[in-house]
Amino acid sequence: MSLLEIEDLTLDIHGAPVLQDVSVSVGAGRITGLIGESGSGKSMTALAAMQLLPRGSRCTGQIRLDGHDMLELPERRLCDLRGRVAEEVSFGGITFRRYRGGLGFGVPTDKAYFYPEGVEGLFEIYYAPADTFETVNTVGLPLYARMIPDRDRDEWVRLEIESNPLPICTRPQVLRSARRT
């Protein structure tokens, strides 16, 4: 059984054809790569599969993720599926988990955590990749900058700068916790 099944996917954005009759099948536990020139539709296929398309998009065909028809699901259900698919990713010997508010991550108001300051090498900084399809499965860089052009009128660009530092304690035995009494 396929985890992701795309059949005859056609995508128009504001009436302009972007994808035509794309079909892809990815089996559960399999890795599949989409290879093509810049602008050939790799990213748009992935965005269509997760229904993360810009306004003015019209998508036809069939997209099934784990048996769910992605073109027919309401937005709330799509958000649930998107979250479930990417809750944990391992890369470069580090497991990245996506923590969202309310899932028990963070420091509760009745607790505190302490670590000594000024200890050379106590923390090593690693960087996660940027939150874009282009940086999936790449080693993270300290800083990413990108320009996102106005697709409607081509009159402006939005500048985004992103950094995803991950401080890792090299001597966790020195970390201490406390609780308010």
pLDDT tens track for 70-93: 999 888 788 777 665 445 555 555
The pLDDT value recorded for residue 157 is 86
Decide: helix, strand or coil at residue 166. strand
| Residues 54-83 as b or e (16 or more Cβ within 10 Å = b) | eeebebebebbbeeeebeebeeeebeebee
Q: Is 37:45 a contact under the CB 8 Å cutoff?
A: no
Q: How many residues does the chain have?
A: 181
Residue 82 vs residues 18, 51, 65, 73, 170: alpha-carbon distances, Å: 23, 9, 10, 12, 33
The pLDDT value recorded for residue 22 is 92
Q: Alpha helix (H) ranges present in the chain?
A: 42-49, 75-85
pTM for the structure as a whole = 0.47
Q: What is d(CA 68, CA 85) in angstroms, rounded to the nearest whole number? A: 13
Q: What is d(CA 19, CA 21) in angstroms, rounded to the nearest whole number? A: 7
User: DSSP strand E in the chain: where?
Assistant: 2-13, 16-27, 57-65, 68-69, 88-91, 94-97, 111-114, 123-127, 144-149, 157-162, 165-169, 176-179
The pLDDT value recorded for residue 39 is 81
Q: Which amino acid is at 51?
A: Q
Q: Is 171:155 a contact under the CB 8 Å cutoff?
A: no
Low-confidence ranges of the chain (pLDDT < 70): 1, 82-108
The pLDDT value recorded for residue 65 is 86
